[in-house]
Amino acid sequence: MTLFKIDEVRKTFTNGEVEEEILKGIDLSLKEGEITALVGASGSGKSTLLTIAAGLQPATDGYVIFEGKNLSIMNAEEVRKVRASEFGFVFQFAHLVPFLTVEEQLLLMLDVSESKLKKQEQKNEIDRLLKLVGMDHRKNSYPSSLSGGEKQRVAIARAIIHKPKVLFADEPTASLDSQRSKEVMLLIKDLTKTLNITTLMVTHDEEMLAYTDRIIKMSDGVILQDVI
How do the domains of the chain map onto residue ranges? 2-227
The DSSP string of 79-102 is HHHHHHHHEEEE-SS----TTS-H
The CATH architecture one would assign to domain 2-227 is: 3-Layer(aba) Sandwich (3.40)
Amino acid 111: pLDDT: 86
Coil, strand or helix at 155: helix
Sign of the alpha-carbon torsion through 180, 136, 103, 116: positive
pLDDT digits (tens, 9 = 90+) for 23-48: 999 999 999 999 999 999 988 999 99
Q: What pairs with residue 38 in β-bridges?
A: 202, 216
Q: What is the pTM of this model?
A: 0.91
Alpha carbon distance 13, 117 (integer Å): 42
The whole-number mean pLDDT for each consecutive block of 10 residues of the chain, a chain of 228 residues, reads 89 84 94 93 92 94 93 92 92 90 93 82 89 90 93 91 92 86 89 91 91 94 88
Amino acid 133: pLDDT: 86
Alpha helices in 68-177 (DSSP H): 76-86, 102-112, 119-132, 148-160
Amino acid 175: pLDDT: 84
pLDDT digits (tens, 9 = 90+) for 177-193: 888 889 889 889 988 99
Closest among 26, 22, 77 to 53, alpha carbons compared: 26
Amino acid 6: pLDDT: 94
